[in-house]
Amino acid sequence: MAFTLPETFAKLPRHPLSYPHSSPIHPLPTLSSFLRTSNPKITLFAKREDHSSPLACAGNKYRKLEYIVPDILSSKPQHNEPGYDGTPTTVVTEGAIQSNHTIQVTSVAKQIGLEAVAILHKGTGGGLSTSTDKSAFLRTGNVQIARLLGADVRMLEPGSTSGGRDPVASIMAELKAQGKVPYWIPSGASLHPLGGLGYARCAFEIAAQEKEIFGGNGRFEYMFVACGSGSTVGGLIAGFKLLDRIDANNGMTKPPRKVIGVVISPTKPREWHEGRVLNFARRAGDLIGLDGEKDITMDDVRLDFRFVGTAYGVLDPQSREALGLMAQQEAVVLDPVYTAKVARGAMHWVQEGEIAREASSKDEVNALFIHTGGQAALSAYADVDQVE
């Protein structure tokens, strides 16, 4: 689907990793009916980012990487770690044992002809510690796919150091000593200066799809998306802010879309997450033509912390129920770390009347669940099929 970006945004270098068409948006009629919404009638839709790219385990990280790859391919990258000069030969990243991000980074590295090192932390979250089959958790799911793709997988024990040094810094130094030029991509790509651009662009894609779906007479008033490292949410906020600016300049004003970031890890306080998302949104805003500090405020950041469960990577009973419900009602398979919690949150907002109370003046409301992928991790969760 064709859409036009403003000149400042359009000039930013991008290396396409997605299909030439938009990732699909489709309604969830059975689930919407099951949730029995009326007054207003609420219809749930799904944005299938798990169908966004031909590369392995399509998901939300590919959009972020589209704007990072041009820097990786540069003879003088602007955003690599200090001291690692020259054209990169190896992409290095990190994540939890069942990290989706490391799979997508590895896929991209292989596609552009580079080596990939995937650093997996055993102590991140509770997925491994609560697993009923730890051996399977360490070798199946995303771990298996990372190795199949040819990643150099390094598993680190909790609290591990090398001679008192940060283990990531040690691995980077080791690669440099071997004559390689490593390029560092932080977990989730959010701390990378270009990490929010992919989902700022996705906002324009969603807006174009709204016109196709609703014929100019509707939009997605609510969007539910996972908030992990934070730049997916931040990028969407920036992108929709820019769209609102364009609409206002054209004499069209509509209530802003509400991006609800469903936080999926309970390890950090609210203020930390909110400040981080705000910073990512402002950083992306500055790059695409907004004045981030002026145009994006904390009022634009809406995070829901009620569905984090007990730990990152742990499928709590309520999220397990949401995962099963989505599969049984719509034949849509979620992942146990991110999208199951987001689906649980979206269903709660619908079924408990939270959307209805905020949108009481409307007859109909459209809500979008953004499916960011991650289903490959399911096989590592040995008892995930035990859903009532």
Residue in 22, 23, 52, 99 annotated catalytic? 99
CA distance 354 to 342: 15
Spell 85-101 as b/e; 16+ CB within 10 A means b.
Answer: eeebbbbbbbbbbbbbb
Asked if 265 and 312 count as a contact pair (C-beta separation under 8 A), the reply is: yes
The answer for 374, left when phi > 0, alpha when psi is -120 to 50, beta otherwise, is left
Tell me the H-state helices in the chain: 7-10, 29-34, 61-72, 100-111, 134-137, 142-148, 167-177, 197-214, 231-249, 270-288, 292-295, 317-330, 339-351, 354-358
CA distance 99 to 122: 11
* φ, ψ at 351 (rounded to 5°): -70, -30
Asked if 100 and 45 count as a contact pair (C-beta separation under 8 A), the reply is: no
Q: Report which residue type is found at 119.
A: I
C-alpha distances (whole Å) from 337 to each of 128, 280, 372, 378 are 12, 22, 11, 9
Q: State the pairing for strand pair 115-121/90-96.
A: parallel
CA distance 107 to 105: 5
Asked if 253 and 264 count as a contact pair (C-beta separation under 8 A), the reply is: no
Distance of CA 112 to the CA centre of its chain: 22
Q: Is 99 known to be catalytic?
A: yes
Q: Is the dihedral of CA 123, 169, 13, 10 positive or negative?
A: positive
Asked if 89 and 114 count as a contact pair (C-beta separation under 8 A), the reply is: yes
Which residues pair with residue 366 across a beta bridge?
A: 43
Q: Just list the catalytic residues.
A: 99
